[in-house]
Amino acid sequence: MGKQPFTILIVDDDEDVLLSAKLLLKKVYEKVIIKSDPKALNTILTTENIDVVVLDMNYRIGFNDGKEGVYWLKHVLEIKPEMVVILMTAYGEVELAVNTIKLGAFDFILKPWSNEKFLATIHAASQLSISRKSNAILKHTAKVIQELVPHGQETIIGSSKNMQSLYDRVDKVAKTDANVLILGENGTGKQHVAKRIHQKSDRKNGPFIHLDLGSLPESLFESELFGHKKGAFTDAFEDKPGRFELAENGTLFLDEIGNLPFHLQSKLLTVIQERVVFRIGDRNHQSVNARLVFATNAPLLQWVKEGKFREDLLFRINTIEIPIPPLRERKEDIKPLSKHFFKKFASKYNKPNLVMPEDTINELKKYNWPGNIRQLEHTIERGVIMTDSNEMSVLDLNLKPNDTSIIKSKESESLNIKELERNLIQKALNKHQGNISKAAKELGLTRAALYRRLEKFNI
């Protein structure tokens, strides 16, 4: 029978006690750490994954009142409230034992100990450690899910022929666990389609976890996707579940999958095939039971030919493809979308008497909307904010020329820095078919910086 996978820390100023305890425990437990100075606790508890701490009550010669043990017990529990602590003393005052347990100690051992009693106490403590850590992980996971799961539900709006076809496709695939790849330009509502798939599925009572790979620094990809163990790298101060674990029994939506670095594509492929995930720094795997939905605006087939995206991964993620039509191809949906956003923002900005005339809606229907639904939403929000009358006019919307792919002569003569910057960004996006990474590279910006400018200019 192998050793139990626990790490026991023993702190005592008596070297003989430390050696005896280590010789006894290392036969049973995977790792036993001994320290003679309790000041080492700060470093040990933040760099090692300790399961049980065994603390001596006295460390200074001539002082046998146990106050130091009480001090270090409190200190340990301040750093790690869930830590299981056992106290040792050669002075068996019952009152002291009771007080330390009231303060949070798990148990109390008298020196010299019997090996059977010592091992039994450590075993019970290690089992409590499992329970406490599991509860801590569950609480942390629940908190993270609460932060990640969107509050409220935005419905997909549209009755056009294109949208009816999309609804039919979504409803057919939702009841299955097939991997889905949603295709569409920026701002077309890929996240809302992913939510609809989740809400129509048998997993609707589970979490819907969204990760936008397009806005994530490359250094965080692996940790966010797969999680990490405490101490796996410099800033890994605690165990952290990845998005695959957080989406257990629910749906994991990986947006902008084309931004996943090539060296991590094989790891994602393995997770999809084997249905297990290894946290960074962990030898033990976690099972994966999540529905996988992906989205991109990138030309993945072209990237496969260019060696930028793995062909076997593409085959795995696009069991079903769901293309979302751009807003310019379903202009009959502009009116209901506009009314929806107008109602939303009129309420948000406390303008109950504000109306949106039919001629304003007609102007919205004439526009090509290169930024799709997201741009329409931002435009109407701006209009609601800026209007000073009870009617929101076309002028309040501040619509730009439709042909944003070409800087017209009038625009090229403009020396307005904001206009020039907006036009350059739009040109880069058009050139690279909406691919954020390529556009950012051409503009000499980071992805995050480009995203901020897209928000700034409502693109």
Domains of the chain (ranges, CATH numbers): 4-140 (3.40.50.2300), 161-323 (3.40.50.300), 330-456 (1.10.8.60)
Q: What is the pLDDT of residue 86?
A: 92
| Distance in angstroms (rounded) separating the CA atoms of residues 98 and 429 | 69
What is the helix (H) or strand (E) element at residue 300, kind and residue range? helix 300-305
| Distance in angstroms (rounded) separating the CA atoms of residues 139 and 136 | 5
The single-letter code of the amino acid at 263 is H
Name the packing angle between helices 15-25 and 115-148 (round to 10°): 80
What is the C-alpha radius of gyration for the chain, rounded to an integer number of angstroms?
A: 30
Which residue ranges of the chain lie beneath pLDDT 50?
Answer: 149-153, 403-413
| Distance in angstroms (rounded) separating the CA atoms of residues 415 and 128 | 69
- Write down the residue that tokens 């960074």 correspond to: 280
Parallel, antiparallel or unpaired: strands 276-278 and 285-287: antiparallel
Q: How many CB atoms lie within 10 A of CB 23?
A: 10
Q: What is the pLDDT of residue 402?
A: 57
| Distance in angstroms (rounded) separating the CA atoms of residues 123 and 27 | 13
Q: What is the pLDDT of residue 348?
A: 93
Closest CA to 448 of 269, 314, 291, 259: 259
Q: What is the pLDDT of residue 152?
A: 44
Q: What is the pLDDT of residue 134?
A: 65
Q: Are 285 and 242 in contact, with CB atoms under 8 Å apart?
A: no
E strands, 60-147, are 84-89, 107-110
| Distance in angstroms (rounded) separating the CA atoms of residues 43 and 197 | 47
Q: What is the pLDDT of residue 64?
A: 64
The single-letter code of the amino acid at 74 is K
Return the structure tokens found at 276.
Answer: 């297990």
DSSP 253: E
The single-letter code of the amino acid at 4 is Q
**Strand, coil or helix: 405:** coil
Does pTM surpass 0.85? no
The CA angle 61-66-70, to the nearest 5 degrees, is: 125
| Distance in angstroms (rounded) separating the CA atoms of residues 149 and 207 | 7
Closest CA to 376 of 188, 160, 191, 182: 188
